[in-house]
Structure 1
């Protein structure tokens, strides 16, 4: 059985990806940060539906937790599947932010965005690389805000910048890891209904229609839409795809 490690797998895009990947017969190790209940519930849901999953606690921004997480992951792989390696890494863990003008951006906000979205997944991938099988795949969940083709939104200079850094990192890792046959790609969601941003769409549903009106396919994105794109990039059908960023936005802001 192939195994996928998915960070931020207890809700939103990560949760939807864990469920979708498990449907393909792939074992799942999903991580959660602040909500063990949602992490364990997701793993239990996958198991109830006939899949195989383990939930582990992990804060991607905590560099001091990397070696401990690797040890916990190795133990889980051995205990659950009798394996010492895994096949797919989905760097999905993220945190949203409210719009903050450039002149009001604090060092604390800057460090948080860099830690979660760039430094964290960078060194997590480095730490776990010896456990990834040759011929495996890595996917970053970035954002359409990090694409050169996107129209910058006011107040997101840090978020857009670190997501753009993920896009660049994808290309560099695809080059460096190609000798091992490891494909590296990214998915760039547009506006997607998740719990990020303090669950804004649930609290302010009036925000949804203007976004849908500005999306070519006429609705807001759902976590399952993005999960399908991530799962494709892990699949054999994407065997000849690497160093690419696939925008999954429904044609937002065309």
Structure 2
């Protein structure tokens, strides 16, 4: 049985596929309307909109490059217009900073361009997109930033990605401090090994790699799937969790405890 939050609206970045798609669908299943963003997957995003509508909720897909902070003013304007046109509202309730990608390269082989991409996408993007959207958020709303299990444990080849995500962990605490007076809670969700197309779908498609990580996951002896993360995200946003703020919450099945 799902709970319903009438007229609640979530904005989920990078929701045309993978974990973001799972987030959007789980929120819709709990009665939340969704503004979702995509970068290149317009058709995939349209398919997610249809799935959300099939659940009886409203949804709109907007294009956004979270690595291009110079476009955020225009994007905020698009969100404002959509809120007026579709919902006859000025503000939305929940923000999920999810969009991003990974770089796999050792410390010795990582280029400055790769490093900058990770910082711009995950850290700078989260910082300034939230800044631009704050005037459109309801007081008492909730924000979830996406961190990673790789900020707690290490795996060779992910240094640039993990450093950017570690910055998100710290940023989350500062957001929670400064937005607390508005009643806005801010937390970070940290997925563990999850079967998506991240990193070219290596974990999902490489049987040996999949088995390796599954063996290190106590809960179920398997890797995560997008619905595992989406369920946690939807619960944190729509459940009786408003007194939780400034926390990094790992959803990894206990990977590498």
**TM-score using structure 1 length:** 0.96
Cα contact 1:134–1:182 (8 A) shared by 2: yes
Q: What are the Cα deviations for residues 94-146 of structure 1, in whole angstroms up to 9, with x where unaligned?
A: 10222x12122111000110011100111000000011010000001110111
What is the rounded CA distance, in whole Å, between the counterparts of 1:103 and 1:202 in structure 2?
A: 27
Q: What are the Cα deviations for residues 183-231 of structure 1, in whole angstroms up to 9, with x where unaligned?
A: 0001111110111101223442332111111111110111111111111
Q: What is the match of residue 231 of structure 2? A: 228
Say if 1:145 and 1:202 are closer, same or farther in 2 by CA, change over 3 A: closer
Q: What is the match of residue 166 of structure 1? A: 168
Compute the displacement of 1:17 (Å).
Answer: 0.6
Q: What are the Cα deviations for residues 126-183 of structure 1, in whole angstroms up to 9, with x where unaligned?
A: 0000110100000011101113xx2x21121111111111111111100000000000
Q: What is the match of residue 43 of structure 1? A: 49
Q: Which of 76, 82, 87 in structure 1 is aligned with 2:93?
A: 87
Cα contact 2:193–2:224 (8 A) shared by 1: yes
Work out the number of aligned pairs and report it.
250
Q: What runs of 5+ residues in structure 1 fail to find an aligned partner?
A: none
Say if 1:109 and 1:137 are closer, same or farther in 2 by CA, change over 3 A: same
What is the rounded CA distance, in whole Å, between the counterparts of 1:244 and 1:201 in structure 2?
A: 27
Q: What runs of 5+ residues in structure 2 fail to find an aligned partner?
A: 1-6
Cα contact 1:146–1:162 (8 A) shared by 2: no
